[in-house]
Amino acid sequence: MLRSLTEYNKGRERANYAPVSVGIGINTGILRMGTIGGRDRMEVTVISDAVNLASRIEGMTKMYGTPLLIGNATYHALEDPTQYHIRKIDRVRAKGKTEPVTLWEVFDLDPPELMDYKLKIAAIFEEAISLYHSRQFEEAQELFLDCLTRNPQDKTAEFYVERCKLYMKIGSEEEWGGITRRVIYERD
């Protein structure tokens, strides 16, 4: 889908139209598929916790500014994750879930300059995430700001800079565990 969208956007660019973007969330699990409806209107649908979680993951692509996120079950279902460009993004408590979910960004189809950036800052980003989860928010924020200095469009780093500011201001819960929840706050 992302490859096709890239080609489609090239045509839009030639026609002076704005590019179209999408967010894709992938999760792995058991589901039920069936046909619902009556004589005049029938639909095929899928339902399950795994499907609902995939939908929640898709919604989080906006928050992190990335087109493709996968859940932990999908990451661990890959035969060889090293065949892909993947980075751990966060641990989240999705709406309606009690257990946290690890999110992974797959960035194989990023533009070459963005992929190069993510590969160059991989160690910095991992360290920043680790510091963040260890509640060392000032140190984490410095590293995320370093990432933003290198690429001001890095929405994930920007997200974490804001989160570090928030937790430095209000603190984190005793049983926080580095799990991101949607928190409403006002920017300084």
122 and 176 inside one domain: yes
The CB density around residue 44, as the number of other CB atoms within 10 Å, is 9
Whether 96 and 150 share a structural domain: no
pLDDT at 59 over 80: yes
Last residue of a domain, one of 109, 141, 160: 109
Q: Are residues 158 and 178 in the same domain?
A: yes
pLDDT of 182 higher than 60: no
**Among 58, 76, 109, which residue terminates a domain?**
109
94 and 7 in a common domain: yes
pTM (global) more than 0.75: yes
Residue 176 has pLDDT above 70, yes or no: no
pLDDT in tens, 67-88: 999 999 999 999 999 999 999 9
Element (H, E) at 72: helix 72-77
Asked which of 49, 74, 109 is the last residue of a domain, the reply is 109
Q: How confident is the model at residue 187 (pLDDT cuts 50, 70, 90)?
A: very low
